[in-house]
Structure 1
Amino acid sequence: MPRTVPPIAPRVVAPCPGIGFPTMEEAVLITNPAAEATSEHVKEVIVKALSSNLHLEVVDTAAPGHATEVASEAVRSGYGLVVAFGGDGTLNEVANGMVGSDTPLAILPGGNANVVCRNLGLPADIVEATGRLLNGLREHTTRRISVGRTGGRCFLVSCGLGLRPPGAHDAERDADARRDAAGRRTGPRFPGRHLLEAAFRAAVRDRRGRDIRIHLSAGGVAEDVAVALITNMSQLSYVGDHPVTLAPEARLDEGLDVLAMRTFPLSYVPRLAWSALSDGSHVRFKQVLYLHDLGRVKATSAGVPFSVHLDGEFVEDRTEVEAELIRNGLAVLV
């Protein structure tokens, strides 16, 4: 049976002088009940805290894509703020409904890694993050960040090429395994927890001569590579509180960076892991191609498809990907 999105009543709000976006008195809180660090009790506490400053409407996501629809409707209806409470996957969906608008997005961490939150310098602890959000409401402090887009879908963290997570040989089965009876995503998402495992698998395939060669074109450079990550965030995952800094020169207000392996010897897996956790010297490794501040990246293969993931979600195998930068595409409450 087709699912209907609960309508959001239109709001009439006045612009805030000198700021260029609506006042934040009317807000929508979008929550993912399946996110790893969320619970009904935590949500109730957050709703109570935010309701002291906002006229708040709360929407629980019910299926993949639901958060995008709700966020898009909130922007069209003139809400002054959209709050996303969940992990990086939930945040990706919410952002996809808001890119290009002046409506600010506020982030409350409810996932395992909370990569976007940490890259923005926001607290990964939900109590501290709620306090920071309330301070941001009082001061109206926002920041515009750039995002990437490919195939009509935006990504905040990364677009990965050739890094195949476990079980991704069957996209539909992999997607179904991450959803509960209500259709909500569950469990860990790639690349955070599985990044090193995917790198190891890529290295094994490269050693056996089974790796797909991806032709990468960007910034006047054209090379064949085994795997690639496209991002404008420096830290793409975390081991505990330790950041995994794969793209050390990437900045949220600049262009896209590319980290690619020309070939992927097994010996590079521990070296890459150590460098990403320490000094970032891997960008100068002989087999590494690193490009900075790009507006567009194109990847193709000679008829053999390669795996693609966006912000941790395996999408599908493709023979061509073109990623473009949307500069200053998203307003974020900080």
Structure 2
Amino acid sequence: MRTLLIVNPKATSTNKHVRKNITTALEGALDVKVKQTKARNHAQSLAQQAVHDGYDVVAVLGGDGTVNEVINGLLSQPNRSAYEVPILGIIPGGHANVLAHALALPSDSKKAAKAFIDHMQSQSIRTIGLGKAGDRWFALHAGLGIDAEVVAAVEDMRKRGFPTTPGSYMAGLVKSWIATDRWNGPMTMTGVSHDDQHVSIDKLVFAIVQNTTPWTMLGEIALQASTQARFEQGLDVVSLESLSAQTMMRIAGTLLTGRGIGDLPESTVLTNLATVTMTSDRPVPLQIDGDLIKPVTSITFASVPDAIRVFTPVDNP
């Protein structure tokens, strides 16, 4: 199968030596061409061109942000089925690598490269559903409010030379919590389930729209918002109407014991939604698959079943 490998040379959990070993291994086993990204959104352009050039497979050596760009490139043309675009391969090279964890892929890049070769040779392929936020695809989640503010804080620290670590996320969380309006929730969420049930909640300060679990990773610890989200179902939404100190302490305790934010009594969980729309009386920060997007006052999220094919372990549900 004709394969394009898109490599992010700035992937945080790899180095030049590791990337060279991985590309050499793939070139020895597969019909593969390697291209490196040069700037933000370049991976999306490379993936879009790969569709035009008729590649069978597009693999990514990078983090969740690079994978998101590739997905958006593969699916940039409207109304294309999963069988009309290249199959996606994932070799995690970022900090969190949440999608690799969700698909039961190795977190170690070298082991994941070997697994990718094995999955290609055995044709171990899974078709998964994705989410859309406006016209942007996402595999994992979108966050509104403090979730996106934390992403912004970590990105600011990274630009100032600080490494991206679990500690930087905790520092970003504290900074964002102090700065945010914890009580006067501006958001209203309205959703429609796959069985045509209509739901609505308002005065929200925080919301996560999930396509699968986990929500994110803290080192090797999987952190959950909704524990029920699955690629094969609609979208789940976990929301809060306030972020008091007591609530934040309960969130921390809940996450570190393997439960989800949605298990807290003060949270509201909506599951298996076909669409969900957020409106706000003021701009709200938004992140999609860990990438910061400009603040929004209105956005619609949609569940798209069977959107893309991915090489995964054969026993992955």
Q: Does the alignment pair 1:36 with 2:9?
A: no
Q: Aligned in 2, Cα 1:199/1:222: closer, same or farther, shift over 3 Å?
A: farther
Q: Does the alignment pair 1:129 with 2:112?
A: yes
Give secondary structure in 2 for the equivalent of 1:267. helix
Listed as ranges, the gaps of 5+ residues in structure 2 are: 76-80, 193-197, 313-317
Q: Aligned in 2, Cα 1:110/1:265: closer, same or farther, shift over 3 Å?
A: same
Alpha-carbon distance in structure 1 between the residues aligned to 2:163 and 2:71: 21
Listed as ranges, the gaps of 5+ residues in structure 1 are: 1-23, 181-185
Q: Aligned in 2, Cα 1:223/1:202: closer, same or farther, shift over 3 Å?
A: farther
Q: Aligned in 2, Cα 1:327/1:175: closer, same or farther, shift over 3 Å?
A: farther
Match in the other structure for 2:315: none
Match in the other structure for 2:291: 313
Q: Does the alignment pair 1:265 with 2:244?
A: yes
Q: Does the alignment pair 1:254 with 2:233?
A: yes
TM (norm. structure 2) is 0.85
Match in the other structure for 2:46: 70
Match in the other structure for 1:94: 70
Mean CA deviation greater in 114-123 or 228-237: 228-237
Give secondary structure in 2 for the equivalent of 1:130. helix
Match in the other structure for 2:35: 59
Alpha-carbon distance in structure 2 between the residues aligned to 1:240 and 1:177: 17
Match in the other structure for 1:85: 61
Counterpart amino acid of residue 297 in structure 2? T
Q: Aligned in 2, Cα 1:31/1:281: closer, same or farther, shift over 3 Å?
A: closer
Give secondary structure in 2 for the equivalent of 1:283. helix
**Mapping of 1:140-219 within 5 angstroms?**
140-163=123-146, 164-165=148-149, 168=152, 178=159, 188=164, 194=169, 197-198=172-173, 201-202=176-177, 205-207=180-182, 209=183, 211-219=184-192
Alpha-carbon distance in structure 2 between the residues aligned to 1:106 and 1:301: 37
Match in the other structure for 1:47: 23
Alpha-carbon distance in structure 1 between the residues aligned to 2:152 and 2:122: 44
Q: Aligned in 2, Cα 1:250/1:61: closer, same or farther, shift over 3 Å?
A: same
Moved segments of 4+, more than 4 Å: 166-169, 174-180
- In the TM superposition, residue 206 of structure 1 has moved relative to its aligned partner by 4.3
**Mapping of 1:16-27 within 5 angstroms?**
24=1, 26-27=2-3
Counterpart amino acid of residue 274 in structure 1? G
Give secondary structure in 2 for the equivalent of 1:296. strand
Counterpart amino acid of residue 39 in structure 2? A
Question: Which of the two has higher C-alpha Rg?
Answer: 1
- In the TM superposition, residue 286 of structure 1 has moved relative to its aligned partner by 2.9
Q: Aligned in 2, Cα 1:167/1:122: closer, same or farther, shift over 3 Å?
A: closer
Q: Aligned in 2, Cα 1:284/1:229: closer, same or farther, shift over 3 Å?
A: same
Counterpart amino acid of residue 35 in structure 1? A
Alpha-carbon distance in structure 2 between the residues aligned to 1:45 and 1:176: 30
Q: Aligned in 2, Cα 1:196/1:155: closer, same or farther, shift over 3 Å?
A: farther
Give secondary structure in 2 for the equivalent of 1:319. strand
TM (norm. structure 1) is 0.81
Instruction: Report if the CA contact (8 A) 1:298-1:321 is conserved.
Output: yes
Which among 76, 86, 93 is matched to residue 110 of structure 1?
93
Q: Aligned in 2, Cα 1:296/1:227: closer, same or farther, shift over 3 Å?
A: same
Match in the other structure for 1:13: none
Which among 267, 270, 279 is matched to residue 288 of structure 1?
267
Q: Among the aligned pairs, what percent are the same residue? A: 29
Q: In angstroms, what is the RMSD of aligned CA positions? A: 2.7
- In the TM superposition, residue 27 of structure 1 has moved relative to its aligned partner by 0.6
